[in-house]
A = this chain, B = another copy of it.
Amino acid sequence: MFKAKIKMEVLRELVEVISTLVSEVKLSISKDGIGVKAVDPSHVAMLVLDLNKSAFEEFAGEPTEIGVDIEKLKEVLRLSKPGDILDLQFDGGKNRLVIKVGNVTRHMSIVDPAGITDPKVPNVSPPGVATVKMDELRQGIRGSESISDHVTLTLEPEAFTMHSEGETDRVDMRLGKESLPLLESKESVKSMYPLDFFSSMVKSITSSDQVTLHVGNEYPLKIEFDVAGGKGKGRFLLAPRVEED
């Protein structure tokens, strides 16, 4: 059983983050909220997201799983305008998710959750951590995108840097400790990541004005962020590219 009312802005946040990696997702409903785990088809990137029931206008759930086509959620969101509240109701017997927005009701067939990959989330604890403002991160990403498919993130005791190198040009962004809300890195660590994933992940995070990056040496990246004004938490994991010498 699952019945909820949610602001369009909150549902849109979820949909943007999830659609970065997958087109179908399994929503794990509990009495405390909704959980999501997703892995992209190439198994390079992963998402773990938990939305507390306090992020909803109304929420009533019993443990169940609902497989949802993300494109259909986008279609429903396009029927709403800022400030609208969407009414979600899952009819387990008929395998239908019924969503109301204004006077419009969509009866949506669901996807068999058994057919959606349930990723095993690795326990990733990179040694360095930096909290970076989204504006600056996005500027650095735009710079890198001009010249390479990869970006190298480095954490040092005094700075966070992004570096990309093309055949003739290179781009660097350096943020000193003084301009970072948080920086903890006893030694220098660095890894190279695929820029397309890193860019679309960062761009999908729309409600947070900062994110926390956990970086190690040739180690998966962990990006932690808030959703729904802190009533939900998300984290992306992204496998490193091994640098060629």
Q: Which residues of A contact B (CB under 8 A)?
A: 72, 75, 78-79, 101-109, 136, 139-140, 142-143, 146-147, 168-175, 179
Distance between Cα atoms of A140 and B136 in the complex (Å): 41
* Cβ A169 vs Cβ B109 within 8 A: yes
* Cβ B136 vs Cβ A103 within 8 A: yes
Which residue from chain B places its CB closest to the CB of A146 in the assembled complex?
A: B75
- Chain B neighbourhood of A78, CB < 8 A: 142, 146
Given contacts A101-B139, A107-B171, 13 further A-B contacts (CB under 8 A): A72-B169, A75-B147, A78-B146, A79-B139, A79-B142, A103-B140, A103-B173, A104-B140, A105-B172, A105-B173, A106-B169, A106-B170, A107-B172
* Cβ B139 vs Cβ A104 within 8 A: yes
A interface: dominant SS: mixed
Number of copies: 3
- Chain B neighbourhood of A139, CB < 8 A: 79, 101-104
- Chain B neighbourhood of A107, CB < 8 A: 169-172
Distance between Cα atoms of A143 and B106 in the complex (Å): 8
Q: How far is the CB of A143 from chain B (nearest CB, A)?
A: 4
* Cβ B171 vs Cβ A104 within 8 A: yes
- Chain B neighbourhood of A179, CB < 8 A: 103
Q: How far is the CB of A226 from chain B (nearest CB, A)?
A: 23
Closest 10 pairs (CB-CB, A-B): A109-B168, A75-B146, A104-B143, A104-B173, A107-B170, A105-B172, A103-B173, A106-B171, A108-B169, A79-B143
